[in-house]
Structures are given as C-alpha cells and as structure tokens.
Structure 1
Amino acid sequence: MSLNSNWTVEQRYRRIEDISQESIDAMVELRKQDSGYPSYHVAPKFGLLNDPNGLCFFNGEHHLFYQWTPVGPVHGMKYWYHLSTKDFVHFEDHGIGLHPDQDYDSHGVYSGGALVENGNALLFFTGNKRDENWQRVPTQCFAKMSADGKIEKHGVVIENDHYTEHFRDPKVWKQGDDYLMVVGAQTPQNTGSMVLYCSRDLMNWHHKGPIQTRYNNLGYMWECPDFFEIENQSVMLFSPQGVSSESPYDFKNIYSVAYILGDRLNLDTAELENHQDIAQPDYGFDFYAPQTYLDDKGRRILIAWIGLPEIDTPSNAHEWAGMLSLPRELQIQDGYLVQSVLPELKALQGEAVTVENVLELDTTSFMVELETDTDEFELTLANAAGDNILFSSTETEFMLDRSKMSQLYAEEFGSVRKARRLSTKQTIEVYVDKSVIEIFINGGKHTMTSRFFIDDLNALSITDGVKTVYHAMSPVKGLDD
C-alpha cells in the first residue's frame, strides 16, 4: 500500500510554487470535511506530515518543525514546516521554515535535529539531491535560526564518503568542548547503523564510524537516530528497518522504533558501554521517527510521527496524512524509558465524568483514565452499527484490536497488537482525538499509539470493576483557526 503507487515522480516532486491556489483550496476544503481530522494533535492543513524535525526550546518557546509534502498525501518534495508554542495549548504557525531551494537539497529538505547555542537555533538536516540517473546524493547540512525567526542556510558540512545512499537524519549535541552528531546510515554491507561524528567548530567533522553495540547486524537501515542522556544513562533511540521477531509483541509493524540503554558512549572506541537488551517504547500500529529535546525545565521531551512509511490511511481521501504525537516527557525507571504526557495538556481537559459501563459520546476528542487491579478488562469505542476498536487486557498482556473498524487498511500487517502487562494494578491513560488513540500502559513504560477509523463514533464502554474517569478535550489554538 505505497503512498507513491498512483503518483508519477514528476507529480510527487513538484514544488509548492507549482501548485495552484485553486488546487490548495480544494485540498483544504476536502480536509475540512474529514471528521477524523484531530483537534488537539498537530496535523497538516493539507498534504503529508511525517517526521518531527528540529525540536528545541529556543527564545522562550518550544519550536516544532515537521517534514511536509504540500503536493498531496504522498512522499515527494519535502519541506520543513514550522510551529512554535509556549504551552502546547496556544500555537503560532510560522509556515514553511526550510525550502528545498539549493542544489544540495534540490529534491527535498530531509529530517534532522536542532542545537541551541549563542542565541541561535542551529538546524541540522539532510540535503536530498538526485542526479541525472536519479541516484540519491545525500549530504548533512545546517542552517541558523535567529531570535527574530529568520532562517539562513549555511550549506553542507558532511559529504557521504562511507555509506550507501541511505545516509540521513542528523542529530547534534554538545559534550564539553566537543560537538557530536549521529546520522542514520546503511553500511556498505547493507546493515543499519547509528554513525558518530565529532567536531570542534560545527564545520569540520571527524568520522568515528558506527556506534558499537551487540546489534551491529540489526536490519538494513536505522532511520531518525537520537542519542541523549537521562539520569547519567545514555540512550540510543532509532527506527530500524528490516527487523522482525518471533515474539508475539516485538517488531510487528512494517517498521518499528527501538532503544538501547547503556552506561556511557566511549568516544575513543565509539562503543555504548555496558548496555542493556534492545527494547521497544511503543506497541501500537502507528509510531515512528521519534525525536527528543531538552526544554528550559530540564525535561527530556519526545514527539513522534503518528504514521508509517509505505502505508496509506483513509485520511488520504481527504488530501492529508500524518500527525504528531502528544509531547511526552521521558524518564528512566527500572531499566525502561518511561513516557508521560506533559502536564501542560491538562489545560485542555474538561470536567471529570465518572463512567459506569457505557458513556454516550458528545465529542470524539477526549481522554479517559482507567484504574484497575483486575486480571481482565475491555474498553470499547464503537458506533451504532457495532464497528469498534477494542483495547483489552488479560493477566499477562494488553491487546489493541482494530479488526472491526468501519474502514480497514494495512491488514497485511495484522489488525491486532499486543504488549506485555507488567503488573495487575495499573493506572492507564487513554487519549482519543477523532481518529487517533494514544494509550499509556505499565506506568508509561510502554505506549500503544494508533490511527483508527470508525464512522460516527458515539459510545465508550468499559468492563465492570474498572474505575473510569472521562474528560472532554478542547482543541488547541492557532493551528487551524
């Protein structure tokens, strides 16, 4: 179900200047008719949103960029779209932040991260260029955003001398006097890797090679790498491709997300020392390309793409695709990366309503908190015809079943996802926004993030014995006003 199957290369790689205002208006009008378009998640006004980019806290605000293809709900000519917010309730829409307007990014401004320094936000990105034979020529590049919001490109800082054409998504941080960069890459042996570079001046980078772990032969490409420290532990976070598992839980999506916790990164050997087994943060259908950053409170915040490469969703019929996850604070507990929704989102919550068995919904943007110490329960979101999505649990595992949705898709990858249940007593948060659900299980040690499509969703039901509190969620401001 490739997003590109019905589009020619020429159509996909048109620039926004080549799209008529009439076409844009028609796409926006179709999108506005979609009852599945979210109210408190970031989504594109039209076209395709994918990876979060350049996340940073800068000049008193959280800055969010995302990959955007304006020509339609398809992967093609990529731009960085720019939003900012002080509270994740009120947003400012800055429009396109980075255009593919140089020779080195002539076929798209691909993903990357940000580093705040000396009154600027430095935006690192992959320049995607195609030569006359349509061979990709990727380079790592950077731009500066000043406090007044002006963005100026400063060109290529790393050319591709060691890897296949799959060499992208730079993430930069500073450690002492050293600037460090990781890049997602495919080795000449066609294995995925998180490649390390070092610099003293941000312009001249020394290649240290792939970070060494026990997983040097995991999959054929590692996308969207991130490396950071929490509580004196090092975290490698990445999106490996070409990985599967015989476990009923792990690596069930076309592409999944993984992390590895270790003691420290040895810069001499490029080894992640004393690291744990690889783990998954999310067990839903649609969680990819997460990126993290530090804010002014010292919080490590994660935002992911709710979507996956190469999979269409029913939203495409309304000329849009993809959204960003809610912002999640990360902590480490018991060897797990623990996620929790930022408390700023509580400002969107309406009054608490206790649910007894069944609740008729007057909005499809809400959250529910479940408190349970029973072995089994079921939470069902349904319409009058019985179409539903089912979140349930046994003593040992959670299950999310979307096999009875009104609009089925991506069935070749299965309609059920499972995750281990780590304890009987649980407080579970479930965030629903029209056509997306984010579930925080096992105290945030795992999440289940998914799109779902139920026509005229109107009822929530819950098993007896589960204390359930419902809050309507208000829309965020500034995104589609």
Structure 2
Amino acid sequence: MSLNTSWTIEQRYRRLEDISQSERESMTLSRQQDTSFPCYHIAPSFGLLNDPNGLCYFNGEHHIFYQWTPVGPVHGMKYWYHLSTKDFIHFTDHGIGLHPDEDYDSHGVYSGGALVEGDRVLLFFTGNKRDENWNRVPTQCFATMFLNNEIKKNGIIIENEHYTEHFRDPKVWKKDDVYFMVVGAQTQNEKGSMALYESENLLTWQHKGPIKTKYTDLGYMWECPDFFELDGQAVMLFSPQGVQSSDPYDFKNIYSVAYLVGDRLNLSTIELEGHHDILQPDYGFDFYAPQTYLDGSGRRILIAWVGLPDIDTPSVKYQWAGMLSIPRELTLEDGFLIQKPLTELQSLRKEEVVFSQTHKIENGSFLVQLDIEDKEFELELSNLKGERIVFSATRGEFQLDRSEMSHLYAEKFGTVRKAPRLINNQLLEMYVDNSVIEIFINDGKHTMTSRFFIDNLENISIKGIEYAKLFYMDRIDGLYSSLKEN
C-alpha cells in the first residue's frame, strides 16, 4: 500500500504547529540514521520535499524555495521552505517562507514561480482550498519578498473560471511592460494544457486561452509549466500526466517531463510557432517538476524534484522523502535543451582517483567521469552481497538497470530505463550521492536522474573501458539551522 493512501486526511493535513517538538526531534533523529541521505543535494530535515518553487536570483543570491510537508514523508499540508546561496556550496536556511494561513490556501501553498522586480521579488503560487465536500478550489495568488527577505502575501489575483479543479503552478515573466503567466491546467474536456494570462498591473489578468501546439491530446494534465526564451527561441517545459508511449525511451515513468522548442510564442494567436517534435530532458526513474530562472550573469538555471508523485521510496521509513537535483545550466543546440552541471559544483570536488576495473569506494558521494569513445561499456555500483545497479551502453543506447538493488520499489513501472545514444565519442559525468545518481549523457542533450538503494555500498567497477576518474564530493552546509537540528 502506498504511504500516500495509508494516511488519513486528518493526519496528512495537520499543520506544523500541531506537530510537537518531540515529534520533530524523533523524525529528525530517524532521518539522521539513514545512510541513504544525501551530502550535496538539498533534502528535508524530515517530512516530504517535492517541487522546487520561486527560483530566482535576487540581492546577490540564488533563492530556492521548495514544497515541504512537515507532518511526515507524505503529500499533505504544503508549505514553501526557503534557502539562499551565493555559491551552491554554502546555504542560508531561512525556514518557512510561505505558510498556509489564509482561507484561500487553507489546504496548502501549492507550487509557483518568482519574478524579480528591482528591490523586490514577486512570488506567485496556487492557493489550495477544499470546501466542506472536499472539492478543490484553486486560485492563483502572489506575495512580495523584500530586501530583508521578509515576505508579505498579497492575495488572490486569478480565480478559476475556465478549467477543472486541476489549475495550478503559475509561472510569470514580463515583456515590454506587460506581465504574462502560464498555469498548468486541465481543460473542461479533460485534456492537459498550458493556460496563458496577461496583465498590465498584476491585479487584473486577462485569460488568453491554452497555448496552441500540435499536441492537442497529450495527457489529462500539464503540471509545473515553464515558458522562457533561450538563444532566440521559445521553450515550453512542463510535466504531463497520463501519457504513455510505445517508444522504448519516452514516457516510461508514472509521470514524465517534456519540452517543446519553437520559433516564438505568437501573443495574438496564442500559438507556439514553428515548434519541433516533443522531447524529454531526462530518461531516468526520478525527475519531475523542473523550474528554471535567470541568474545575475544571464545563465538559465534548471532545478528539478528528484522524485515522483504517488511513488514511495524506501527512505519513508526514516521519516523523509524527496530531494532537489543539482543545479544545471541550460543552453540550446540543434533543438535540444543542453544541461550542464553548474561550474560552482567543481568546488565540492576533493582528490581525484583514477581507477581501472574495480575501486573500493570510501563513501557514497562522488563524481565519476568516463571517456567512452566509440565503445560499449558497463559500470556497476555494488555491495559485498552482489546487490547492485548497472549503467551500460551499446553503440545505440544507454541503459540503467536497478533490478538488483537492496530495496526494490515501484516495480510496476519497470526496473530498467533506456536512452538513445546520439554520439559515439563523449565524456559522461555521473554524480552519485548515497541514494541518487544524475548521469549527463549525449553531451548534455539528455540526463538520467534516479534514486537507488544499495545497503553498504562498497565497490564501483567498469568493463569495456580502460579507466575512469572519480572525485569524492564534499558536503554542502548551512541547511536545517532554522529547525534546530542536533
């Protein structure tokens, strides 16, 4: 039984103030016992972390919010938790940024984005409310964050008049003194869409309609929409639900992520003109709800949730679930979104180890670099029992196999993921952090992001290539201070 269904509504929708200090300490202590907890990925002290929210560069820092359910590792009452950093190594923990403390967000502050305007940040979010019959009443709302990081809610700006109750996750940008918002939506005929709104004053918004593409029947809901311009083209990034494919690579998870690259968004016809076929940025088991933003140097940065809705990982028994991906810089090349780890992460690298065949690892947080040239190969992470995950490649495709882990889960969605091999000679980077692996393949055209669970991880071994480079990774710091972790 899924943890998400074994909890009662009353249990899941308890507020933070209803959780005793002893309960918080007990959950924190349980999480501290978990050797699968990451060192250089953002994860919760306890409870559930899911979507990244409100990403922005403001007042000399990167600001990262994420959805947090403090009652336990389950979807329930959602808060926005707030961190900031100048270098992605040292973080300031600001604690909860947005509380579900108004009537319109009485059942959770749901996901959304940020827009920097001078000496303030506008934080857009979905207010989640349930009526007496447990019908959802979603509204799009906003708050203002000031230079001292104080946040003030401004209330509802868009009520739901055109879509089903699935109407959430606003993302806003400004162009020529006009504000535009996309919202993830389900049309009245239960089709997923990215709804567009327009405003000149932030308070009055005009519904323009779903953005038109050639994909008129792609799932029943598009969550976490993002629209941005990159290298002179227009990009729609979203997380469609209810999509399956007979293709060996695409849409194999319970929910996946997709994007469209077009020439421009025509604001008169509300059409993404000249767009290519739909693509996926990631072919792993656990990549969802990515959000992007521009930093002070003009880089387009992406951060995603390493997790999926309706999937429980083995970490739930330690009272935590979910983490954020490492930050990735985006560029466009030949219609593909290219993802590269931010250069700041190089500061986490410690000594370099060059090995062939098998290397006994000192700890589970490291980076592996493989120069695969025009070869087939296999890389294995294992323990002394032979429990393992295997990443391999033929000349035509990559494969990640986690069928022999210590702790299997979500087997109904398969234990193997594949991705096309588009380039023969390439340098692969694999970021491993105790129970997560992020693999950058095809020169960044794709990634494979996945959780894995191997007790007492002991060895890394390679076949088909002469050697590999390994860098142990340092720990990021500054997290959990507002929760008074021991």
The TM-score, its normalising length taken from structure 1, stands at 0.99
The 2-side partners of 1:3 and 1:185 are apart by: 26
Deviations 1:336-382 (A, max 9, x none): 00000000000000121111111100010000100011331001000
User: Structure 2 stretches of 5 or more lacking a match?
Assistant: 482-486
Count matched residues: 481
Q: Distance in 1 between matches of 2:109 and 2:370?
A: 42
List per-residue Cα deviations over 1:259-292 (Å, max 9, x = no partner).
0000000001110000000000000000000000
Q: Give, in angstroms, the shift of residue 480 of structure 1.
A: 4.5
Counterparts of 2:296 and 2:425, CA distance in 1: 34
* 1:426 CA displacement: 1.2
Separation of aligned partners in 2, 1:375 and 1:243: 33
Distance 1:465 1:21 in 2: 52
The 5 A counterparts of 1:178-197 are 178-197=178-197
Structure-1 residue corresponding to 2:484 = none
Tell me, in whole angstroms, the C-alpha distance in 1 between the residues paired with 2:40 and 2:198: 39
Q: Tell me if the contact between 1:377 and 1:466 (Cα under 8 Å) persists in the aligned partners.
A: no
AA aligned to 2:85 is T
- Contact 2:124 2:172 survives alignment (8 Å): yes
CA distance in 1: counterparts of 2:442 and 2:464, whole angstroms: 20
Are 2:294 and 1:294 aligned? yes
SS of residue in 2 equivalent to 1:170 = strand
Does the CA-based 8 Å contact 1:374-1:465 persist in structure 2?
no
Structure 2 partner of 1:202: 202
Equivalent residue letter for 1:129: K
Contact 2:301-2:327 within 8 A present in 1 as well? yes
1:402 alignment counterpart: 402
Distance 2:460 2:83 in 1: 33
Secondary structure (helix, strand or coil) at the match of 1:351 reads strand
SS of match in other structure, 1:419: strand
Q: Could you say which residue in structure 2 is the equivalent of 1:49?
A: 49
* Alignment-mate amino acid for residue 27 of structure 2: M
Residues 332-411 of structure 1 aligned to structure 2 (within 5 Å): 332-411=332-411
Aligned residue for 2:350, secondary structure, equals: coil
Secondary structure of the residue that 1:104 maps to in structure 2?
helix
Counterpart CA distance in 1 for 2:464 and 2:108 is 52
Aligned equivalents of 1:228 and 1:467: distance in 2? Answer: 40
Task: State the shift of 1:66 in Å.
Answer: 0.2
CA deviation after TM superposition for structure 1 residue 465, in Å: 2.5
- Cα gap change, 1:466/1:276 in structure 2, threshold over 3 Å: closer, same or farther? farther
**Residues 1:314 and 2:309 are matched in the alignment:** no
Q: Is the 8 A contact 2:111 2:168 kept in 1?
A: yes
CA distance in 1, matches of 2:152, 2:479: 25
CA contact (8 A) 1:372 1:467 kept: no
CA offset at residue 64 of structure 1?
Answer: 0.2
Counterparts of 2:245 and 2:31, CA distance in 1: 37
Paired-residue identity, %? 67
Residue type of the alignment partner of 2:474: S
- Cα distance in 2 for residues equivalent to 1:320 and 1:391: 27
**Is the 1:366–1:433 contact (alpha carbons within 8 Å) kept by the matching residues of 2?**
yes
Measure the CA separation in 1 of the matches of 2:145 and 2:455: 43
The aligned residue for residue 84 of structure 1 is 84
Structure-1 residue corresponding to 2:103: 103
Q: Give 2:445's aligned amino acid.
A: K
2:480, 2:451 → 1: CA distance? 20
Inter-partner Cα distance in structure 2 for 1:350 and 1:356: 19
How far is the alpha carbon of 1:402 from its aligned partner?
Answer: 0.1
How far residue 464 of structure 1 moved from its aligned partner, in angstroms, is 4.0
TM-score, normalization by structure 2: 0.98
Q: List gaps (5 residues or longer) in structure 1.
A: none
Q: CA deviation at 1:3?
A: 3.2
Measure the CA separation in 2 of the matches of 1:406 and 1:315. Answer: 13
Tell me by how many angstroms 1:218 deviates.
0.5
Confirm or deny: 8 A CA contact 2:93 2:480 kept in the other structure: no
* Displacement of 1:217: 1.1
- For 1:423, the aligned partner's letter is I
Q: Which runs of 4+ in 1 moved over 3 A?
A: none
